[in-house]
Amino acid sequence: MLDIYEITSLEQLRAISDLLRVRILDNLKEKPLTVTQLAELLGMAPAKVHYHVRELEKVQLLKLVETREKGGILEKYYQAVARNISVPKGLFSSVQQDEAVEGLGQLLNQARDGYLAAFQHSMQSAQEPGAELAFVLAHLYMTTDEMRQLLKRIDELYETYEKPRGIEGEQEFMHVLFGYPEHQKELAMPAARIADVQPQQPEQEVSVGVRHISKRELEQALQQNKHLHLSIVGLCVIASDVPLELVQATIEKFSLVGRLQAAPDVHTYLMNIRES
């Protein structure tokens, strides 16, 4: 395994503009795991994890390193291509500004939404509000070299806690750290409105007529952690480029009075979970 891998394309940058995928890569740094083992570590459904693993493998940030047969089932073990993945400065100059901003904004929005959701949960819990949350906002005066030295020291400190130690009370925390020159914040773009974050509820939809479902629509639902409950009367068309794993990760309930047009594996899956 490489120590450092520099991403080489916008596709790879988009692939890691998702905190779940960053967590997946982190968990596959030290040893290869199957999707089922990885899902257990993350406390998530294997179908959802499998989709993200497939996308990371597609852009060569994960690789299949071993297959084993167990009880007639072929187990696939995946591992990250490197212990650390970095973004070279030249990559941003080679892509459109809007695309680079969109990719980074997506990652920061996920971090923001995760923190606000945790804050909301903390306020509703019986524990001391905010006891497990941290928020630091500081104005520092330093040179660029001093900033780099500070980041190096923080990175060295993080290394102590990057691997589970199995001690009592240990849990996974998300830390996000970024800095910028204060005078530049007004130069580029207006501040985004912070949306209210509510716990995700199943998204129920009733459609009559023709309902088209695209890959992009399901990817957005997956990104927003939506669980779709679809009730359709008429014709339901699932785009031919929608993979089964994406359907399994997003469509939780499916009711249909009419006809379904989809790839064979997607058709079989939806018919099996269809409610009468």
Is 190 strand, coil or helix? Answer: coil
Note the pLDDT of residue 186. Answer: 52
Domain count across the chain = 2
Query: What one-character-per-residue DSSP string does 45-97 give?
Result: -HHHHHHHHHHHHHTTSEEEEEEEEETTEEEEEEEESEEEEE--HHHHHTS-H
Does residue 36 fall inside a structural domain?
yes
Give the whole-angstrom CA distance, residue 257 versus residue 233: 5
The overall pTM is greater than 0.75: no
Looking at the structure, do residues 219 and 119 belong to the same domain, yes or no? no
Does residue 172 fall inside a structural domain?
no
Region 79-103: mean pLDDT is 74
Average pLDDT value over all residues in the chain: 82
Asked which of 126, 154, 172 is the last residue of a domain, the reply is 126
Element (H, E) at 210: strand 203-213
Looking at the structure, do residues 103 and 15 belong to the same domain, yes or no? yes
Q: What 8-state DSSP symbol labels residue 33?
A: B
Largest CA distance in the chain: 66
| pLDDT surpassing 90 at residue 224 | no
Region 195-208: mean pLDDT is 65
Host domain of residue 254 = 203-275
Q: Are 87 and 104 in contact (CB under 8 A)?
A: no
Tell me how far apart the terminal alpha carbons of the chain are, to the nearest angstrom: 50
| Domain CATH code at residue 101 | 1.10.10.10
Asked which of 91, 126, 161 is the last residue of a domain, the reply is 126
Does residue 166 fall inside a structural domain?
no
Asked which of 74, 103, 126 is the last residue of a domain, the reply is 126
Does residue 179 fall inside a structural domain?
no
Q: Which range is least confidently modeled, 109-118, 132-141, 185-194?
A: 185-194
Note the pLDDT of residue 194. Answer: 38
| Cβ-Cβ contacts under 8 Å for 17 (sequence gap 6 or more) | 103, 104, 106, 107
Does residue 120 fall inside a structural domain?
yes
Does residue 178 fall inside a structural domain?
no
Looking at the structure, do residues 210 and 110 belong to the same domain, yes or no? no
